[in-house]
Amino acid sequence: MSGNGLPNNLPTLEGKNWERWSKQMKSLFGFQDTLDVVTNGVPILPANANAEQRNSHRDLKKKDCKAMYAIQAAVDSANFDKISNAESSKEAWDILVKCYEGGEKVKNVKLQSLRRQYELLQMDKNESIGAYVSKVQGLVHTMRNCGETITERMVIEKVMRTLIPNYDHVIVAIQESGNVPTMQMEDLVGSLEAHELVINERKNAQETVQAMQAQTFKKNGGNKGKNHDKSKNFSQKHSKFDAKSESFKKGGGTSNTKKKDKSHIQCYNCEKWGHYASDCWYKKGKEKATDSACTRRNR
């Protein structure tokens, strides 16, 4: 707290933080006992005022100046220019209110948009209970500033209606308990966060198991690959063995696939060189001719 009665860390109005800033400033005005002056202004001193009235008016003017200084010290340069010509704290405050909240027409238009957002608001799948409830309460706060009447029970029921299916059985249990009419938001959030903790623990445990299974599968898959290579090598060797066996059969009992040199072999049928008698074409031709002659005689 500084010597002039103002906090050392006054909130600063920067344009987008009007709702928060206005709440904080109203608390400050209440602490300084200047809220009535900012809201209603300083009455005009009658011409025939007595001493008591003049003293009271002087005290109100001091409060007005104190509130005016607080407002000027808590705004940025752009907002200071807006209120630089104001002659009282009420006038400066009203300028800012009109600038950021607008008139009734602007409020109604804004409220229609907020109502639609409120109706469509649903909890996201990966959103925590705390984050979602804060979102709902922030929207409700903005709507109330625009003149909307929303009770605490309405907010609680809104939260219960729009949770993800993971919390359905919790909501059913709360409804069956009959405590909804008297329930506070803190109680609801506590019950939901307790269930959220259980869900997260199970999810983490399941992810751990899945990770271990993935590692095991990967390890087994590597062994499977090695076995596959072994099977492949065996098949290749088996194919080579079959090929050799086939060659062995064709080669007359030898695995040597090269053609045998028969140039020094003489056939005793035709007395020519280069083949065996069993392969002699002369003998085969002669036998064929004999068979044909026998056939003609039999006819």
Confidence of residue 236 (pLDDT cuts 50, 70, 90): low
The Cα–Cα gap between 170 and 192 comes to 7
**Residue 113 burial by Cβ neighbours in a 10 Å radius (0-12, 13-18, 19+):** exposed
Determine the Cα–Cα distance for residues 45 and 50; give it in Å rounded to an integer: 10
pLDDT band at 266 (very low <50, low <70, confident <90, very high): confident
Q: Could you tell me if 15 and 79 are in contact, meaning their C-beta atoms sit under 8 angstroms apart?
A: yes
Residue 102's alpha-carbon distances to 99, 144, 150, in angstroms, are: 6, 15, 21
Q: What angle do CA 83, 85, 90 make, to 5 degrees?
A: 60
To 5 degrees, how large is the angle CA 80–CA 81–CA 84? Answer: 80
**DSSP secondary structure letter of residue 275:** S
Highest mean pLDDT among 71-80, 203-212, 271-280: 71-80
Task: Indicate if the alpha-carbon torsion angle 197, 139, 159, 185 is positive or negative.
Answer: positive
Q: What pLDDT digit, counting tens, does each position of 101-125 carry?
A: 877 777 888 899 999 999 999 999 9
From CA 102, how far away is CA 89, in angstroms rounded? 19
Q: What is the pTM of this model?
A: 0.52
Structure tokens, 288: 């064929």
**Other CB atoms within 10 A of residue 139 CB:** 18
